[in-house]
Amino acid sequence: MRSHCALYVDAGYLLAAAATRVTGTSLRGSVVISYPDLVRRLVEQAETLSGLPLLRLNWYDSGNRPGGAPDPTQESIGMLPRVKLRLGRTSPHGEQKGVDLRIGLDLAAHGRNHVVDIMYLVSGDDDLSEAVEEAQSHGAQVVILAVPDPAGRPHAVSNHLIRESDGLELVDPPTIDETIRPRQLQPEAVGELSPEAAGVVVPLPGPRSARRPDEPAGADSAPTASAEPERPTPAILAHSRPQHPTGTGPGGLSGAGGGSKVAWSSSSDHPVHRTHTLSPALIEMIDDVCRGVVGAWRATATKEDRRRVTSERPFIPSDLDRTLLTDLSARLDVYDIPDELRYRLREQFWDAMDEIGR
């Protein structure tokens, strides 16, 4: 039987990491994508790296319609040649359900049945490490294909997942830069897309606007560490549970106090009075993250979106809350965010909304 390679694409990771590279924030609604070009380039890279023809590209995401059914964007992706749409579902709180499980089961089953010889996994989620080991135990090679950050490093890939895989490759930077654009630049970008994509430029779900967002926060203010920390992944960060702060940690958690304010958790019904003990540098970083997320959201939000978000104050919509957590975790290079930072992050989100987001 002829040997093949295959792609296993965690859309949540790919699009959040690509949005961070392009706009400075992982907010998926801040970008517009030519899916035909993106898929074609990923396929070409996998075939070039492996020297084998591609059997199939498996696209994993949560269905955005009730019951996990695909929305029009996802249906368009599933119609592309050699693309298999594999959908989980979205909970009432906006959380993905069943996506990681589908990826893991497919890796294990395809390895056990010798479906392909080389698997390229576009993800950074540590929860997939056991599935990678299972596929390898049946003779398949599993290589991580990661999105590069602006510095050319793999974005948000678990060190443990890298260790368990057979190698790490980076998605070719032009694959991201030439197929994924800031949403507000869509009218300027359409003319540069390939002919087959000209009629199928499929934006991510969300409102549109021609306004430019504020410049995203730069990465030069991120703290440095003496050792390589475990990088967070969007999938894990979206569902991570808060841990009690120990008083010290990345970014100077034991710095000068910042006073007492009423803070709201997006999952709590009651305010909590907390005294902050965060360093000025960390508070400034949190402010940068909030400004970047609010600026990107504001550039794509309709008047009704803005009215809805402000009317629900102090509760932050789940998609924006996950973006805040993901972006701050990536800036800090921490696996989980302590309670103290979560409360401060949500406070400063509303400060940024008051200043630039209305």
CA distances 246 to 81, 227, 250, Å, are 51, 20, 11
User: Would you state the pLDDT for residue 72?
Assistant: 94
Is the residue at 74 inside a domain? yes
H or E segment at 275? strand 272-276
Q: How confident is the model at residue 303 (pLDDT cuts 50, 70, 90)?
A: confident
Question: Is the domain of 238 the same as that of 307?
Answer: yes
Is the residue at 44 inside a domain? yes
Question: Is the domain of 272 the same as that of 225?
Answer: yes
Domain CATH number, residue 15: 3.40.50.1010
Query: What are 31-53's pLDDT values in tens digits?
Result: 999 999 999 999 999 999 999 99
* In the predicted structure, residue 216 carries a pLDDT above the cut 80: no
The answer to whether the beta carbons of residues 107 and 84 sit under 8 Å apart is no
Q: Structurally, how many domains does the chain consist of?
A: 2
Question: Is the domain of 23 the same as that of 157?
Answer: yes
* In the predicted structure, residue 240 carries a pLDDT above the cut 80: no
92-96, 249-253, 330-334: least confidently modelled range: 249-253
Is the residue at 85 inside a domain? yes
Question: Is the domain of 123 the same as that of 28?
Answer: yes
Q: How confident is the model at residue 28 (pLDDT cuts 50, 70, 90)?
A: confident
What is the reported pTM? 0.70
Is the residue at 123 inside a domain? yes
Residue corresponding to tokens 């830069």: 177
Is the residue at 209 inside a domain? no
d(CA 234, CA 65): 21
Beta bridge partners of 5: 54, 118
Question: Is the domain of 14 the same as that of 116?
Answer: yes
Question: Is the domain of 226 the same as that of 185?
Answer: no
Query: What are 116-131's pLDDT values in tens digits?
Result: 999 999 999 999 999 9
Tell me which residue of 178, 192, 218 sits closest to 31, measured CA to CA: 178
Read off the pLDDT of each residue in 251-260 and give the average, rounded to a whole number: 38
- The length of the chain in residues reads 358
Is the residue at 210 inside a domain? no
Backbone angles phi, psi at 35, to 5 degrees: -65, -40
| Structural domain that includes position 37 | 5-203
70-81 residues labelled b (16+ CB within 10 A) or e (exposed): beebbebbeebe
User: Would you state the pLDDT for residue 144?
Assistant: 98
Tell me which residue of 322, 24, 330 sits closest to 158, measured CA to CA: 330
User: Would you state the pLDDT for residue 238?
Assistant: 41
Residue 46 C-beta-side C-alpha neighbours within 13 Å: 31
Beta bridge partners of 59: 9, 85
User: Would you state the pLDDT for residue 261?
Assistant: 41
User: Would you state the pLDDT for residue 108?
Assistant: 97
> What does the mean pLDDT of the chain come to?
78
Query: What are 198-215's pLDDT values in tens digits?
Result: 334 444 333 333 344 444
Question: Is the domain of 153 the same as that of 37?
Answer: yes
Is pLDDT larger for residue 64 or for residue 13?
A: 13
Question: Is the domain of 270 the same as that of 352?
Answer: yes
Is the residue at 115 inside a domain? yes
Give me 170's structure tokens.
């980076």
Q: How confident is the model at residue 105 (pLDDT cuts 50, 70, 90)?
A: very high
- What's CA 86's distance to the chain center, in Å? 18
Within 10 angstroms of residue 208's Cβ, the number of other Cβ atoms is: 14
Q: How confident is the model at residue 100 (pLDDT cuts 50, 70, 90)?
A: very high
Q: How confident is the model at residue 305 (pLDDT cuts 50, 70, 90)?
A: confident
Q: Which of 158, 179, 203 is the last residue of a domain?
A: 203
81-85, 250-254, 268-272, 334-338: least confidently modelled range: 250-254
Is the residue at 327 inside a domain? yes
Question: Is the domain of 172 the same as that of 291?
Answer: no
Question: Is the domain of 310 the same as that of 272?
Answer: yes
Question: Is the domain of 223 the same as that of 199?
Answer: no
83-87, 182-186, 271-275, 321-325: least confidently modelled range: 271-275
Question: Is the domain of 53 the same as that of 105?
Answer: yes
CA distances 268 to 156, 214, 259, 281, Å, are 28, 30, 22, 28
* In the predicted structure, residue 161 carries a pLDDT above the cut 60: yes
Q: Which phi-psi region, left, alpha or beta, contains residue 182 (left: φ > 0; alpha: ψ -120 to 50)?
A: beta
